[in-house]
Amino acid sequence: MNGFEKRAALIKEKIKKATLEMLKTWEPKRIRIADISKTANVSQVTIYNYFGSKEALLREVLKDYFNKELKEFEEYMNGDYSVKEKIEHMIFQNKKSYSELTLNVINELLIEDHDMLHYIEEEYNKRVIPLMIQFINDGKASGEISSKISIQTFLAYINILRKHSKEFFDMAQQVDNPEFAEELVHLFFYGFCGKS
């Protein structure tokens, strides 16, 4: 990259970072280019020159965010962790994600952006599902995951828990029990009756 390209990349990154920060506290539809311009300390013309429209900027911010989350997930799942640690990570990784972008914001961004929704579904199927299948098969081979549980059932159960993970986090903050999260993990592995 030459000097001009480096400066352009830095300015684009500054704009995207400012937009991501705004998405943590603003509804996407209420954000205006003028607000982004002020937060990023660049002109509105600069934003239009680099991104073309607010929608294209939001799409690029969401794509970057999604790819960063996916990369972190891939690195963790390929790491040297136990099945229990990986399952805890799958269930509770949303805690960090919610501090950045809530599901409501992500859903609002995706409602009218079918191309972005398609991109996310494609990447999920291409990158996450194969990792999960390998993880489940490895867990079954090591005896840490029951051979009675099919891949489809395991994935469905994990997805249910992840979809409701924000409710678990909210409950954990309200309940006067420091072991609440650990007990939820125990329920996941052993149910109400304990180890079989």
Domain coordinates in residue numbering, the chain: 1-52, 58-190
pLDDT band at 172 (very low <50, low <70, confident <90, very high): low
d(CA 28, CA 19): 10
Report d(CA 19, CA 37) in Å as an integer.
9
**Mean pLDDT, all residues of the chain:** 84
**Confidence category of residue 69, pLDDT binned at 50, 70, 90:** confident
Is domain 1-52 annotated with CATH 3.40.50?
Answer: no
Q: How far apart are CA 38 and CA 54, in angstroms?
A: 14
Question: Using alpha carbons only, what angle is made at residue 62 by residues 94 and 109, rounded to the nearest 5 degrees?
Answer: 90
Q: Has residue 167 got a pLDDT over 80?
A: no
pLDDT tens string 132-163: 899 889 888 988 888 888 989 988 887 787 77
Say which range, 83-87, 101-105, 110-114, 119-123, has the weakest mean pLDDT.
101-105
Q: How far apart are CA 170 and CA 176, in angstroms?
A: 12
pLDDT at 112: 75
Judging by beta carbons within 10 Å of its beta carbon (0-12, 13-18, 19+), is residue 28 exposed, middle or buried? buried
The whole-angstrom separation of Cα 140 and Cα 142 is 5
Q: Check pLDDT > 70 for residue 115.
A: yes
- Cβ(159)–Cβ(151) under 8 Å? no
DSSP string of 60-125?
Answer: HHHHHHHHHHHHHHHHHHTSS--HHHHHHHHHHTHHHHHHH--HHHHHHHHHS-HHHHHHHHHHII
